[in-house]
Structure 1
């Protein structure tokens, strides 16, 4: 018949293993409180760890999309401001054309108006060559240099590309970061010819400075072209404003998704402070009780009970 006995060494080994396990639990809980992370390694919860990796990847992609959206927002805001300044400049050209169309003006007065129109022409070229947030042509499409150059006759010539670069802003969506020069300047005049507002201003200036036998008539004709130029510019600004509004919608949606991801990450991998503190206190209490019991039991001897 086998004799089952509990040796002293076995008793010590079990007690040591039990207290080691409790100490390990306490250290793990303390580490969780210190780091704020519930998972110290993927093997703690493989499913949660995999989901956390996915969330981290989505957050990295969202960061890239945010950077692109911020750049698009900056460039479109710059375009909106530049177009507003262009509109103010063209409105002044309309005012001057209205004055020049009056038959009461002298040739010298019209020449003076022509000189101011030359300045307006230069201002429009300068605005058309505005730079984006990266220092590239704002209205030159994907061109790095200027959007417009001036030829030997003083005419503004578009030298940019036909389209602007698109920036990805998440979920497969893109947005054009600006608008090209022809989209805000070019229009079809009353004769059916394609022209632009800068050409209109220059032609009027030349006419008022002696380039036309009927400068008043030229000024009157220019008024309709300038009106078309303002309409084209307004349409372009509307497009820019629509893109800015769309970026706001996308940004709000991205913020909502980021909050949802943060909440899920906290739920999966974050430490519940109240629960973890309670578990730590319980573990330390059990550890302290185990140590006390071990100390008391290890001091007992069979001979103490013999009389």
Structure 2
């Protein structure tokens, strides 16, 4: 077999990859591959020259969304594939999951074509406890803010936040803030080709009245190793099975995706609730799990060897 050529896809702000991903280049080279970091919208890159292009730190795509989707559809062998990117990069996927009975964080959807006035927005916010406002297409917790329902000033700021996003033509999510995010934190479970690899713990990122504006590509996260529970692994596997069967262009015969991250929080009820399903360019936190970098490198090379998934139709 000829030397595999592998592109790890990033953005112009991180041309050498995000620091956590940089060791992946050497791990792939040690396995006999030719690996390089490539900026997704660099016009000089010949994507046809790579055996596989692996999405990693393309975190500016929310600012160039239509261009990014068109680019993804043009790359000969992109993983995860374009139809998955299209479905998962818009958080309306959470609505699809909830409609099929999966435990998903409670969300109210505000669409720009509805032309909400201030009173209509006020009436769609929770009457008590904290809530979060974010755009449906976002990454790195940008344009995300936490507000307190019973505080008049906080509620006013929330209305202004939603109005700004809607005026930009962006769909808005209003999510109930689960208190256990503060007391327990979130669990992020990482899967490689459908097999559980490792998990990390994420501390709460949003304080009440946090400014929704983030300086940079993403809001910094506080992470630590985590021992996933059987309930968390079972919930994550159920969510991934749903996605595998129902993402447009995929069917149950499609092989599991190269990488996936399932972010969960477990409230007092004891049933894990999905916060986000990350299938586009999930951070995998290798430094917090011994052997995970090597497992991912092996999974990438296995993806090259297996060739295109003929049961996955990369829909334009």
Q: For this structure pair, what is the TM-score category when the shorter chain's length is used for normalisation?
A: under 0.3
Which one scores higher on RCO, CA 8 angstroms, separation ≥ 6? 1
- Higher Cα Rg: structure 1 or 2? 1
The two structures have a TM-score, normalised by structure 2, of 0.23
Higher strand share: 2
The two structures have a TM-score, normalised by structure 1, of 0.24
Higher helix share: 1
